Amino acid sequence: MPKRFPAVSLAIAMSLAMVAAASAQDPAPGAKKIWDGVYTSGQAARGKAPFERACARCHNVELAGSQRGPALKGSAFWSKYDNENLSSLFMFIRDTMPQDGPSLLSDEIKADVLAYIMSVNGMPAGSAELKADLRALDEIKIAKKTAFDGVFTAAQADRGKQNFLTGRCGGCHKLDLTGDRGPALKGDDFLAHWDNGSVVTLFDKIRETMPPNAPNETTDDAKIDIVAYLLQQNGYPAGKTELRAEADSLGIIDIVRKGRTTTIPNFSLVQVVGCLTQGPNNAWSLTNTSEPVLTRDEEATAAALKAAGGKSLGAQTFHLVSVVPFTPEAHKGQKMEARGLLYRDDTDARLNLTSLQTLGASCSNQ
């Protein structure tokens, strides 16, 4: 049974992690995002029929969920899977779904079902099919969009500009958006207020309170165009798809500063895979580790351990804290899955363990 941190210290650390985690939601350089087109439209179309046949009775034909199974789209989906790798979701489907017989569908059909779920969640199709390959899926991050991902069109921003200039917005915020009776809507003042929040928060503020005392004099369609204009004026690029005045689609787009770090913040609960190594004075480390991945669980499930077994080793080293209760001597030189609170600075990298479990008797990428 993995050792737990004292409740108070873990709660404090996790609170710090949640505050900081908003600045660390991008995948590591080179990793794919679900927005990069990792399945094909034909594959998603194939996945629809088996989903409706084997999954819809619990998750609803519209993926909205029921008393028997959770929703597989919208906020319920994102609250569970944001910042996970696609391998985690596939492993869950592969090993546990459908509940009355996971073996009723082949791995290939389940990959098609996953493609269908992604399509319903608005993730774009691409030119290559999604494969039932854990190593490949482990390189694809389930992560929200940011405003840098081209989430509005130039034409929509132009419409928003006209709505802003001809409406009552300029009377408080000035026509150049620098602010007067109302706050500035571009530059550092804008980002200081909206950075690390989702576009839906900005839209809701405009929809529900602007203009003051008469929010209903402007339509939601006109207001979402104004949001597009504000994003454009703050340096965010136009794309091929317009913003839609829908909470589910806006809630997965984060407003972030340019050049935001992709480093996972200290005190985050993470998972790594590496080689358990003994050093001087009975100190223990994980060497050749994979890149840390944010996790919500202090210890791995059986499905998560299977996925971790397919992870490739890396080049990092983490010194382990609170390792003794896990009897490291019995696992020296083995490939391990570790979870704990991360701390890194310029001279040190540590992991305060909540779980340490073996993946193989020898430490290799096999």
Q: What is the pLDDT of residues 34-62, one digit of tens each?
A: 999 999 999 999 999 999 999 999 999 99
Q: What is the pLDDT of residues 168-213, one digit of tens each?
A: 999 999 999 999 999 999 999 999 889 878 899 899 999 999 999 8
Q: What distances in angstroms separate CA 67 from CA 3, 100, 113, 135, 252, one per listed residue? A: 34, 16, 21, 33, 25
pLDDT value at residue 140: 93
CATH 1.10.760.10-classified regions of the chain: 30-143, 148-251
CATH 2.40.50-classified regions of the chain: 1-26+262-366
Is 363 in contact with 342 (CB distance < 8 Å)?
no
| 3-17: average pLDDT | 43
Q: Token digits for 256?
A: 């972030």
Q: Token digits for 302?
A: 């059986």
CA-based max dimension of the chain: 73
State the virtual CA torsion across 6, 12, 16, 21 in degrees, nearest 10: 50
Of 354 and 261, the structure prediction assigns the larger pLDDT to: 354
pLDDT greater than 80 at residue 233? yes
SS3 105: coil
* Domain 1-26+262-366 sits in CATH 2.40.50: yes
pLDDT value at residue 293: 81
Is 273 in contact with 311 (CB distance < 8 Å)?
yes
| CATH code for the part of the protein at 148-251 | 1.10.760.10
CB-count burial class (<10 Å; 0-12, 13-18, 19+) for 319: middle
Integer Cα distance of 90 and 110 in angstroms: 8
pLDDT value at residue 327: 93
How many residues make up the chain in this entry?
366
Place of tokens 């500035």: 184
pLDDT-derived band at 301, boundaries 50, 70, 90: confident
Q: What is the pLDDT of residues 315-338, one digit of tens each?
A: 889 999 999 899 999 999 999 999
Instruction: Decide: pTM greater than 0.75.
Output: no
> What fold does the segment set 30-143 form as a domain?
Cytochrome Bc1 Complex; Chain D, domain 2 (1.10.760)
Beta strands in the chain (DSSP E): 32-33, 140-141, 145-146, 253-254, 269-278, 284-289, 293-294, 316-321, 335-344, 349-360
How many other CB atoms are there within 10 angstroms of residue 212's CB atom?
11
How do beta strands 316-321 and 349-360 pair?
Answer: parallel
